[in-house]
Structure formats: C-alpha cells, structure tokens
A and B are shown apart, each in its own frame.
Chain A
Amino acid sequence: MVHSARVVALPNLKTAPPAQQAVLHPLAPKPVSVLSRVVRIGTGIVTQLAPPVLTIAFLLILWQMLASSPTSALPSPMRVIGESWEIIVDPFKVGNGIDQGLFWHVTASLVRVAYGYTLAAIVGIGVGVLLGQSTLAMRGLDPVFQVLRTIPPLAWLPLSLAAFRDGQPSAIFVIFITSVWPILINTSVGIRNIPQDYRNVAKVLRLSPIEFFTRIMVPATVPHMFTGLRIGIGLSWLAIVAAEMLIGGVGIGFFIWDAWNSSLISDIIVALVYVGVVGFVLDRSIAAIGHLLTRGTAAQ
C-alpha cells in the first residue's frame, strides 16, 4: 500500500511545474510576466550584492575619516589611490629586475605555490592512503606528524636554505612542508573512517585492490581529502608571502618587503588587496572542485 502510493506520487511531481505555469499564464499576460521576472531577478541580485557592497563602502568611509588627519601614520584610501596610481593602472608592466607589474609578482608567487602545493597534494594523499590502511603505521607516525605540523612555516626556512642553498627550491619546500600535514592527516582519517559495511560489500563482491581503491576508497575519502586540500592551500598562500619577504626576487611577498624598505606604504596596501583577493580565489577554487567531485557523497 505504502509503496504503490509512492510510485504514483513520482510522476505527479514531475508534471507539477507545467501545471502551475498553466495556471499562472491566464492571470498574468506574457509581457508583464517577463518584466516581473526581470524585476525579480534584479531584486535577487540586489539583495545578494547590497550587503557586502554597503559594508565595504562603510569601511572605506570609516578608514578615510580615521586616516585623513595630517598626523595619521597610515594613508587614507584616497591617498593610496593617488600615490599608487601607477601600479594600480598598470599591473602588466614589464621592467627590470623586480620592477614588474603586480600581476607578474602574483604570478611568480602562484607558480611557487603551484609547485609546492602539487607536491604536497601528491605526497600527502599518497602517504595518507598508506597510513590510513595500517593501524600500526598510524600509531607510530601520528605523534611525529602531530608535532611536525605545529612548526610555523618560516621556522623551516633557514633549514631549507641551508639544504638547498637557493631561494627558489627553499620557498617551494616551505610551501610543501606547510601544506602537506593537513592533507596527509585528513586523508588518513578519511581512509580509517570508511565504514566497515563498505569494506564488507567490497569483500562479498571480491573487488580487486584496484577496484576497491577506485570504487570505494576514493569516493569515500574525497570529502576528507578536500578538507585537507582546502586547509593546505590557505596555509600555502600564508607561507609563500612570508617566505618571499626573506628570499627576495620577483614575488608578491618580496614586493611588500621592498615597498616597506622604500617607505611606500600605499603600495603595500594595494599589494595586500591583491594578496587577499588571490587567497580568497584559491580557497574558493579548491572548495568548488571538491564540491564538484563530492556531489552526492556529502549528503550521507
């Protein structure tokens, strides 16, 4: 009884929207309905965008008021725009040495992050999978990792400079060592949390190790993995800016350091806006990829 009621309910659901429209149309003539739809979408966008836009405007005005006294140590937004107009309008400038547009500085930093982070993702996921499979290895290595992961990124830098004797690989190593821990730990936790039921299903079906890996382990662990990957990308970006300040060369971190040495406070503020926006985009990109890959699993 219960069952047949459900079967009937399903097609009904599918036909419901057209029926609704049929009721709406005679009441609302077409041009008006299109107009009202445009208005509705417009209102939607406004209600979505208005709060952040208003908040930012408010903060800018507050900043302008606080920093406009002649004794203020920091420039007001208007002064930032005035003083740093050159770097704001020409992010693609190509010059000598570190005299490059901000776009190129950010790109240089992103390339370092890409190397270090990719390495961290490969090693973190690989070792995480192995560790999650073995209780013994986990018991032995977990305390070591828990200690290592609390070491601040920059504390690795001297060691890494001593080992590599060069800025570029040192920076990449710092990115790697910073972001590998959350990826590794979350992956192994994900593997260990695969419910026994799924393992039993795999056993009854006699899935091969490769089939078990692709059909059960990866989908069951992907949400955990992406938690780690997302924390990792955030840490990478934090670390690269700091590391570049000490290493030099082209990069947004060194750009900030250089601006500080030349007392160009306005340039620093513009650079900070870039750092913030790029960090935000990185975080959201990883989250979006994770969301795409975990569709359907997250709900369980």
Chain B
Amino acid sequence: MAYLKIDHVGIAFQRAGATTEVLRDVNLSIEKSEYVSIIGHSGCGKSTVLNIVAGLLEPSQGGVLLEGRAVSGPGPDRAVVFQNHSLLPWLTVRENVELAVNKVFRGKRSKAERRDWTRHNLELVHMAHAENKRPHEISGGMKQRVGIARALAMEPKILLLDEPFGALDALTRAHLQDQVMEIHGRLGNTIIMITHDVDEAVLLSDRIVMMTNGPAATIGEDLRVDLERPRRRLELVGNTTYNDARAAVLEFLYARHRAPTLAA
C-alpha cells in the first residue's frame, strides 16, 4: 500500500463555455520518505497536479489517497511551498511561521513549546537571525527559506514544493538545494517537488516523474535515480548513473516531448 496514491486523476476547466481537459488519467504512487520530482514543459499541468494533492483543486475524475484515506480539501498534513513564497507581508518572519505553528499545534503543545518549535524550524533553514524582519526586508532566497520553514513547521505528512527555487539566482539556488537535501536526509520527509530544471531534479530526487504536454497531459515516464545519499554535487560530475538519468530526462523533454509551441 503506497503512502500517497494519485489514482486515475483527471481534471477539466470550464471557461467561457469552452472546456479544456488539462490532466487525464494521472497515476502515481509515492512511498514514505520518498523525494519525487515532477518535470515537464511550462503549462502542461504540474501545478495543477500539486494543487489537487494539496486539496486546493477538486479533480474531475479519480482521487488522491493519503495513507489509504481519500483526501478532501486542503489541510496542514499536506503543506505547500508556493511558487512565489506567499509569506504574509504584514507579519514578521517569525510571525509567519508562528501563525502556522499556533494553528496546527494549539491545544497539543504549550505556548513555550510552540515558540521553541518556531525557532527550531527557522534555525533549520538558517533564518533565525532575521526572525523580526518583514518579508520585504529580506532577499528572495531568504523568503523561500522562510516558506520552507513554515511548511516544515506544520510537520506535514507530505511536503509539496512548487518550483521552490525557480525565481532564484544560480548560487542561492544551489545553496538552498543543499539545505533541502540535508533536511530531507535528517527528517525523512515525503516530498513532491515541481521543477523545470533537469539538474535539480536528478540531484535531489529518488524518482523523476516526466509529464507529457497538455492538453490532457499525463505521466509519460517515471525514472528512478539510484544514487546514494548524501549526494554532493561536485562528486556527481563524472558519475554515470547521474549522467544517464540526466540524459534520459533531457531526451524525454527535448526529443520525444518537445515544447508544443515556442509561444506557449
């Protein structure tokens, strides 16, 4: 029995009388502590898959099972790090995390415990030093780290990352990837991450799920990345497993399922 099961999921959007089928027959099983990346061309429906798992979108067909139980509606057991951090600008860094911690653990942990837990999660992403700053006072990479801390602090069963490093420069991106790998290694979270970046997918994932182009997109290929952890980016440069995985994903994206139109 898989930890998370996306079962024959399809979704169509109605707009101005016209119906567009975005996803058709998406099936995916994920084990506990697995790190799964979803990769595909822009607009194919990656965020839509993630939002269905998060419960923010209702699928037209099929459903999502978490630990054997059907998911309905959003909840803190499936924490999302959104494509653009989405911290609340009127709260400080600490208050943003605290909002989540207080909501999830009120009545289960004492006030002092909740405060320590907030602090602990900020330390995990190395952001405790800026806890009293507001989001507009910190850099993009820092905001994304706070978003990750907020998600981690909910102790979710599954962590959903929608292009978490998409808007960052290469150095910051590499640094954050290392931090997420380290946290995953330490806590063993179950993670689904959406990405555009082939290297990122291969470096971080246990499995890479490749999506075909829409409309009616589905999973085209599911590739296992058998690299030992902890992984270090420098040591992987000449690694054959790494290079084969990379080649397979590139082949899928650029030879077999090219971007439908350049304008898209």
List A contacts of B175 (CB < 8 A).
1-3
Judged by a CB distance under 8 angstroms, whether A300 is at the interface is yes
Judged by a CB distance under 8 angstroms, whether B100 is at the interface is yes
Closest to B172 in A: A2
List B contacts of A290 (CB < 8 A).
none
CA distance A144 to B234 in the complex (A): 66
List A contacts of B56 (CB < 8 A).
200, 203-204
CB distance from B188 to the nearest CB of A (A): 22
CA distance A159 to B141 in the complex (A): 60
- Contact yes or no, B129 A7, CB < 8 A: yes
CB distance from A218 to the nearest CB of B (A): 9
- Contact yes or no, A296 B79, CB < 8 A: no
- Contact yes or no, B74 A204, CB < 8 A: yes
- Contact yes or no, A296 B104, CB < 8 A: no
- Contact yes or no, B134 A204, CB < 8 A: no
Given A197-B84, A299-B134, A300-B136: A206 and B89 interface contact (C-beta under 8 Å)? no
Judged by a CB distance under 8 angstroms, whether A249 is at the interface is no
- Contact yes or no, B99 A299, CB < 8 A: no
CA distance A205 to B99 in the complex (A): 9
- Contact yes or no, A200 B103, CB < 8 A: no
List B contacts of A3 (CB < 8 A).
126, 141, 172, 175
- Contact yes or no, A297 B99, CB < 8 A: no
Judged by a CB distance under 8 angstroms, whether B157 is at the interface is no
- Contact yes or no, A206 B74, CB < 8 A: yes
- Contact yes or no, B136 A215, CB < 8 A: no
CA distance A56 to B139 in the complex (A): 46
List A contacts of B126 (CB < 8 A).
3, 7
Judged by a CB distance under 8 angstroms, whether A98 is at the interface is no
Closest to A207 in B: B103
Given A1-B175, A3-B126, A207-B103: A219 and B86 interface contact (C-beta under 8 Å)? no
List A contacts of B36 (CB < 8 A).
none
Interface residues of B in 169-186 (CB under 8 A from A): 171-172, 175
Judged by a CB distance under 8 angstroms, whether B214 is at the interface is no
List B contacts of A1 (CB < 8 A).
171, 175
Judged by a CB distance under 8 angstroms, whether A216 is at the interface is yes
- Contact yes or no, B135 A204, CB < 8 A: no
List B contacts of A216 (CB < 8 A).
88
Closest to B86 in A: A197
- Contact yes or no, A200 B129, CB < 8 A: no
- Contact yes or no, B103 A296, CB < 8 A: no
- Contact yes or no, A299 B76, CB < 8 A: no
A and B contact pairs by CB, cutoff 8 A, 30 listed: A1-B171, A3-B175, A6-B142, A7-B129, A10-B129, A197-B82, A197-B84, A198-B88, A200-B82, A201-B82, A201-B88, A203-B55, A204-B56, A204-B79, A205-B99, A205-B100, A205-B103, A206-B75, A215-B88, A216-B88, A219-B88, A219-B90, A296-B89, A296-B134, A296-B136, A297-B89, A299-B134, A299-B136, A300-B89, A300-B136
Interface residue ranges, B against A (CB under 8 Å): 54-56, 73-76, 78-80, 82, 84, 86, 88-90, 99-100, 103-104, 126, 129-130, 134-136, 139, 141-142, 154, 171-172, 175
Chain A to chain B: the 3 pairs with minimum beta-carbon distance, closest first: A300-B89, A197-B86, A219-B90
